[in-house]
Amino acid sequence: MSRKTSSDKGLNIIIVGCGKVGVTLTEQLAKEGHDITLIDKNAQKVQAIAGMYDVMGVVGNGASYNIQKEAGIESANLIIAVTDSDELNLLCCTIAKRVGNCAAIARVRTPDYSREAGYLRERLGLAMIINPELETAKEAARILYMPTALEVNSFAHGQAELVKFKVPRGSRLDGMTIATLGKEVNLSFVICVIERNGYVHIPTGSFVMHADDTISFVASRNSTKIFLEHIGFKTNQVKDTLIIGGGSAAFYLADQLLRSGISVKIIENNRARCEELSILLPKAIIINGDGTDEELLKEEGITDVESFVPLTGIDEENIMLTLHAKQVSKAKVITKINRITFKNVINSLNLGSVIYPKYITSEAIIAYVRAKKDSMKKGADGSLSSGGNIETLYHMFDHRVEAIEFRVTMQSAVTDTPLAELSLKDELLISFINRNGEIIIPSGQDCIRMGDTVMIVTTHTGFTDIQDILRQ
């Protein structure tokens, strides 16, 4: 099998595993111009996905030296192992590191391995170990700490937050311009995206907000709750939560919530797993039973609980449980969806906060890929790029908007010039500058300096470098 050579367009990437994350990565990385080769034992899957995204495919065991060689490991820039087996993923990466001169990323979900992630990454020379269940739990916990929000994403090592909420009917924001709100609130914040009737806007100060708009704003972590309180939202974290399903994500979430003083009850069908969880989580209440049983849910307090998180392995069950909870209680609800792709249907249902583990995983990997591509890019004179490494990447509003945090490591056309004097692309907003841990919501007179991290929000896709914010 012949292999495409590396070009300015993108990297040579091998993806081992054609599950949900493997397919999501293939779709997004192929769209960004990278040369992808898939490896999986399932010939039917490889053929279907390779054909769908016009990428190359190899059928076989991803940990086999010969299979990796056939997939072009010797010229690959990166291998990403996302099979269902943690051990196989680690073995794939270990062999690839011995055979080729490439970076390696492994998906590892078992709590035992996750506790040793730093050690494994260092000893095996991996670029990244990613745990979808742990990241899902972190995202769910952030929302339960601030339950009026639909989403809470963290930037600048937790110093800044990107928060999404819906403007309720009767809200004082209905009919108010962003500029008026800015004069009213004595805080540094920036409203960076508004979705209305299916359309997304990167708004200016004259934009008028209305009821039912979905708004995302950025503020420092200390200012987020004060801002929400000012516009009429309660911000107390939930007191208790009822989790359905006792898998890894449930364990990670319960562990985090218990540490924050939130009471946790888990309903799990498997008796042996209940016994495991009662040892792992002595402060949680573990119930052995069917979490989809209406009577059991009533018995265990669904009508009075402050938050409800269905974490079964079946999307349809999670959705039905969410809709039931919405009918019988006032609980804050989070819905985990693994594979369903009917976005329009999901968006039309009142599911509360929706979390997609496959996107959480793929975004962390895509951020790494873009940073790696940028670091390999050369100018015409052979000089390195401007060093705008990507720290954090989030896709928002069904991948129509990207929020990217760049680390500025070198002087460039964007540094030491007032923002008002930069020729920025349309549909783009500089949301904050993080300077030595201080979050600056910038005005036109602020400058980007070397050593800062800078968050931008844009409807453009595929930025790899801080200079991409400038008009060509």
Handedness of CA 366, 36, 4, 79 (dihedral sign): positive
Is residue 195 within 8 Å of 258, Cβ to Cβ? no
Residues of the chain with pLDDT > 90, as a percent, come to 70
How would DSSP label each residue in 423-464?
A: -BPSSEEEEEEEETTEEE---TT-BB-TT-EEEEEES-----
pLDDT surpassing 50 at residue 2: no
pLDDT of residue 372: 82
With cut-offs at 50, 70 and 90, classify the pLDDT of residue 109.
confident
Give me Rg for the CA atoms of the chain: 23
Tell me how far CA of residue 361 lies from CA of 51, 107, 365, 406, 461, in angstroms.
Answer: 23, 8, 7, 19, 18
Distance CA 27, CA 260 (A): 38
Range with the poorest average pLDDT among 146-160, 312-326, 331-345? 331-345
b/e sequence 11-26, b meaning 16+ C-beta within 10 Å: bbbbbbbbbbbbbbbb
pLDDT surpassing 50 at residue 33: yes
With cut-offs at 50, 70 and 90, classify the pLDDT of residue 340.
low
**Helix (H) / strand (E) containing 263:** strand 263-268
Range with the poorest average pLDDT among 12-21, 57-66, 110-119? 110-119
Q: Please list the residue range(s) of the chain that carry CATH number 3.40.50.720.
A: 12-130, 240-355
Residues of the chain with pLDDT > 70, as a percent, come to 94
**Helix (H) / strand (E) containing 333:** strand 332-336
Handedness of CA 406, 408, 411, 417 (dihedral sign): positive
Length of the chain: 472
Distance CA 255, CA 248 (A): 11
Q: Is 181 left (phi over 0), alpha (psi -120 to 50) or beta?
A: alpha
Angle between helices 357-376 and 20-31 (to 10 degrees): 40
Average pLDDT over residues 49-65: 95
Q: Could you please state the CATH topology (level 3) that the domain comprising 359-469 is classified under.
A: Alpha-Beta Plaits (3.30.70)
Distance CA 140, CA 309 (A): 9
Q: Please list the residue range(s) of the chain that carry CATH number 3.30.70.1450.
A: 359-469
Three-class SS state of 20? helix
Name the more confident of 396 and 15.
15
Distance CA 441, CA 432 (A): 5
Question: What digits encode the pLDDT tens for the residues 212-255?
Answer: 999 999 999 989 999 999 998 888 899 999 999 999 999 999 99
The arrangement of strands across the sheet holding 199-201 comes to 151-155, 160-166, 214-220, 189-196, 199-201
Burial of 173 (0-12, 13-18, 19+ CB in 10 A): buried
Question: What digits encode the pLDDT tens for the residues 272-318?
Answer: 999 999 999 999 999 999 999 999 999 999 999 999 999 998 999 99
CA 381 to chain centre: 36
Q: Which two tokens stand for residue 106?
A: 């492994």
Partners of 107 in the beta sheet?
130
Burial of 69 (0-12, 13-18, 19+ CB in 10 A): middle
Partners of 393 in the beta sheet?
404
Average pLDDT over residues 437-446: 93
pLDDT surpassing 50 at residue 4: no
Nearest one of 355, 341, 340 to 150, comparing CA atoms: 355
The arrangement of secondary structure in 12-130, i.e. its CATH architecture, is: 3-Layer(aba) Sandwich (3.40)
pLDDT surpassing 90 at residue 380: no
Distance CA 420, CA 405 (A): 20
pLDDT surpassing 50 at residue 341: yes
Q: Could you please state the CATH topology (level 3) that the domain comprising 240-355 is classified under.
A: Rossmann fold (3.40.50)
pLDDT of residue 348: 74
Is residue 267 within 8 Å of 300, Cβ to Cβ? yes
Q: In terms of DSSP bridges, do strands 160-166 and 151-155 run parallel, antiparallel, or are they unpaired?
A: antiparallel
Question: Residue 40 carries which DSSP code?
Answer: E
Distance CA 232, CA 206 (A): 22
With cut-offs at 50, 70 and 90, classify the pLDDT of residue 7.
very low
Tell me how far CA of residue 238 lies from CA of 228, 298, 305, 361, 407, in angstroms.
Answer: 16, 19, 9, 26, 34
How does the average pLDDT of the chain come out, rounded? 90
Distance CA 464, CA 7 (A): 15
Nearest one of 292, 288, 248, 249 to 265, comparing CA atoms: 288
Distance CA 244, CA 197 (A): 33
Question: What digits encode the pLDDT tens for the residues 178-219?
Answer: 999 999 888 889 999 999 998 999 999 999 999 999 999 999
Is residue 452 within 8 Å of 434, Cβ to Cβ? yes
pLDDT of residue 141: 96
Average pLDDT over residues 126-155: 92
Three-class SS state of 217? strand
